[in-house]
Amino acid sequence: MTRHADQVVSVPLESIRFVIGCSGGSQVKKGGIASSDYAYTGYFADGTIAMLAAYSSTGNTKYLDAAKGIELNYLQAANFDGNTFTAPPGKSFKWAVDANGVPRAQCTNTCSPVTWDMMDASRALGMCQANYYAHNIGVTLPGLDQYCKLWSAKYMTNTNSAPIQFTPDGSSGSSQSGFFAQGLEALFQSGANTALFQPTLDNALSHYNPTSKTLTTQHVLECIRKHL
């Protein structure tokens, strides 16, 4: 799965910079792939899905190339070897090219210890939602089926609780229960284990009160605490 710099970060580079790198602002343009906070872990799913939607709407293969490039960047950041679930480092990272010309992701945010933050990087569970959309339009994203399969088997078998924070070696934080956690897990299951999608989504929706049109008090308090 390891690829050289020209294969990983420039397929095509400008599309990837626009979708992923723009989150780092003007410093990305000035500093290139080594920019601090070059890429945010939780944004790769959004970028991949956006490019798949553009390809589906227009038929222009430059968008499909961009989708595959963004997805391969994510797997490269995770140092995925095709056999073991691993994850990109932290909330955000930059690239450092090693002596062999291979880009390696280095954590730049939430790095002590290096782990995903709760509310932003956790959105990377949507990478397997991107896998769902890819299959719907007859596209195979390189390595993503296997990545989602390994991730699912290791952590995503409980429709009521799941971890949403991970470290580069594939370890996880504690499992979470609630609207946010099972909402993310349901998106994940759409492209990883479709049999678990409906019950996971049902669990997420069970935390919503249709009469008062509010989430459960516990979840609201958790969200407030995590944003303080």
The domain containing residue 156 runs over which residues? 5-227
Distance CA 150, CA 120 (A): 22
Question: In 3-state terms, what secondary structure has residue 106?
Answer: strand
- 186-217 pLDDT, tens digit per residue, is 999 999 999 999 999 999 888 887 787 777 64
Instruction: Please state the domain count of the chain.
Output: 1
Distance CA 165, CA 7 (A): 28
Query: What are the DSSP calls for 13-37, one per residue?
Result: HHHHHHHTGGGGTHHHHHHGGGSTT
State the CB neighbour count (10 A cutoff) for residue 177: 18
Is 87:170 a contact under the CB 8 Å cutoff? Answer: yes
Q: Flag residues of the chain having pLDDT under 70.
A: 1-38, 216-228
What's the confidence (pLDDT) of residue 19? 47
- 61-93 pLDDT, tens digit per residue, is 999 999 999 999 999 999 999 999 999 999 999
